Amino acid sequence: MNDDLLAVRAQTHRFIDDFVRPAGDDWEEAGQVPRDVLRKMGDIGFFGLRIPEDLGGVGYGPLASTVFAEALGSSTYSGFAATVLVHTDMASPHLLHAGNSEQITRFLPRIISGDLITAIAITEADAGSDVAGMRTAAKPDGDGWRLNGSKMFITNGVHGNLIFVAARTNPEASGHQGITMFILEPDMHGFSVGRKLDKHGWRSSDTAELVFDDVWVPSENILGEVDRGFYAIMENFQNERLVLAALAIGESQEALDLTYEHTQNRKAFGATLFDKQTIRHRLAMLQGRVDALRTFAYDTAWRLEQGQDCVKQVSELKALAGELVNDVMYTCQQFHGGMGFMTETPIERMYRDARIGAIGGGATEVMLEEVAKRSYR
């Protein structure tokens, strides 16, 4: 942790205290984070953490994303955190990695400022973690492509204004071959939000089903190479899974901190809950697991920063974090007793939000398969 990373952490916590905690309940009710709040984050520089300095960003690497995501996890409003992290670490990196100079000049400054909020449209109703199973297709049409199909569970899909869409462009290719990424703008004819989805958690993030009905996308909006989109998707999955793990660590630590405070103040049978050995030992064990996972997360981020192949480590990290955050939330809600079941308490919301940790960005079972393929031969 150098001074720059400590500053990112402190600044993120300050933003959460000033803007997120006072208004987060309203965002949960509205089902979205206000655009002016996101533009404030752009003004501060949060959206440029991973953008090179010569392109108007800060020029940091995976360690900064890990710090940022963990700090966002402490907000107790993980729908807000998801809105931000999809923009910074899951969607916009596709433009940075594969965009040509014209595309970067056209879109990147407004991505950094928060005037454009991005989404990544890969998942389909019948093809979640199985990217190779996607059915959305694009066919050549003049100086462009006709896009048909749909995407499901797209964060920032309702109110986002720049969407990176994966579609099959070679129907003869099998599996992961023949997939291309496109830059879609919401005003393109034939594009629509099929429906805004009502979710179990992450309620302050807008999530949509997207429909493409003969959408004509100009060739200038092809992102990267035709038929090579799968490899771009896989490349960014490592960063996506890293930040989701860091988010889960931040959520877990905040839940434990809230529960430490609650159990030290709540009295039962003549003593505080924390005086009960079984309670403080279960909390201590969870704290040890969180501390160990945090060390693993930062070690993995450092290795990614050195350019190492970390698919196995990232998959292990994502699997462990998704399961741990659910273990933490179950115990912390349990120790809050009846109040933990009330929607007025942060722990109830955090319990709901945590469930996606073992599903989104690569389900635990998929991550374990990635680990197994690289461990036992």
**Residue positions annotated with a catalytic role:** 240
CB atoms within 10 A of CB 143: 9
Contact in structure between 83 and 204 (CB atoms under 8 Å): yes
CB atoms within 10 A of CB 14: 12
> What distance in Å separates the CA atoms of residue 128 and residue 122, rounded to the nearest whole number?
8
Calculate the CA dihedral of residues 338, 340, 343, 348 and round it to 10 degrees. Answer: -150
- CA 156 from chain centre, in angstroms, equals 11
CB atoms within 10 A of CB 344: 8
| CA neighbor of 169 nearest in space, from 195, 189, 145, 152 | 145
> What distance in Å separates the CA atoms of residue 282 and residue 253, rounded to the nearest whole number?
14
> What distance in Å separates the CA atoms of residue 36 and residue 214, rounded to the nearest whole number?
33
